[in-house]
Amino acid sequence: MRKPKPPFAAGDGPVMPWTLIDSAEIPGGAAPMQLLSQGDTFSIRVGTAELMTNRDRDSEQALATMPCARLRDHAAPRLLIGGLGMGFTLRAALDALGLHAEVVVAELMPAVIAWARGPLTHLFGGSLDDPRVDLVEADVNRLIQSGPAKYDAILLDVDNGPAGMMRRQNDRLYDAWGLRRAHYALRPGGILAVWSGGPDRRFKARLRRCGFSVEEIRFSARKPEGSRHVLWIAQRGDTPAADVSSD
């Protein structure tokens, strides 16, 4: 007897509709952030733009694994992650780090934290309860400015990267002023890792002018066709450039 096909198999039958789970206003943003599901697939969106999905996680995981690989000789590294998302970067960092590491996660949106402890709990795999984790409801910019040489690595997955779409205040993370502050917040040889929804030559050049050596890694994205996620792994030099105000 022939086995029945599963419902909504690719190319067979109707497409399963997306279900809105929750939405939340973004401080200073024009459109709300939404959490949607389609079967086992979850998507975080602003308007029609998808910020994150559990179907594509390679680049979010690499945002942690690549910097952490350079911190192997650190007995107790301290990391700052900007943006909780679906927890892929946090989980990858915890898997790559030792027992004495400290990971501070800054998330501006209370709703994203609530989703992590609610409908997305299974994606986090208990990482929020790890004793190495300090989850802070705050703008990551504030934590970066909290003092000099506080972190061995800063990992930023905020507002789709330098070409943001959520709130204009996030631009301060990626402009010359923000990069100089990140340089100031890193310990000697520290790493600034930045996730982006696409390439940005001006941002890459800006990193170098702000005293970082830069490696760029590109990842194929599921959609739209031809798009690329980008990681910049930038290592802190001894001294940032004296004047980086222009692009």
Q: What is the CATH number of the domain that holds 103?
A: 3.40.50.150
- CA dist 241 and 123 (Å) reads 41
Q: Is residue 48 part of a domain?
A: no
pLDDT band at 14 (very low <50, low <70, confident <90, very high): low
Provide the whole-model pTM.
0.87
Of 1-5, 49-53, 171-175, which gets the smallest average pLDDT? Answer: 1-5
Residue 28 is predicted with a pLDDT of 73
Question: 244 with 176: CB under 8 angstroms?
Answer: yes
Q: Classify residue 184: in a domain, yes or no.
A: yes
> 64 and 98 in contact (C-beta within 8 Å)?
no
Does residue 165 belong to any structural domain of this protein? yes
Q: Assess if residue 34 is contained within a domain.
A: no
| The predicted structure's pLDDT at residue 221 | 59
Quick check: is 11 in a domain? no
Separation of alpha carbons 34 and 13, rounded Å: 27
Q: How far is it, in rounded angstroms, from Cα 18 to Cα 238?
A: 49
Q: Which domain holds residue 80?
A: 56-236
What values do phi and psi take at 204, rounded to 5?
-60, -45
Q: Is 7 part of any domain? A: no
Does 101 map to a domain?
A: yes
Strands 19-24 and 33-38, sheet pairing: antiparallel
Residue 50 maps to a domain: no
* Each residue's pLDDT tens digit, 23-72: 999 887 778 999 999 999 999 998 888 888 998 889 999 999 999 999 99
Burial 204-235 (b: 16+ CB within 10 A, else e): bebbebbbbebebeeeebeeeeeeebbbbbbb
- What's the structural domain count of the chain? 1
227 alpha carbon, distance to own chain's centre: 18
Q: Report d(CA 203, CA 193) in Å as an integer.
A: 13
Structure tokens at 227: 């798009």
Per-residue pLDDT tens over the stretch 98-143? 999 999 999 999 999 999 999 999 999 999 999 999 999 999 999 9
Proportion of the chain above pLDDT 70, given as a percent? 85
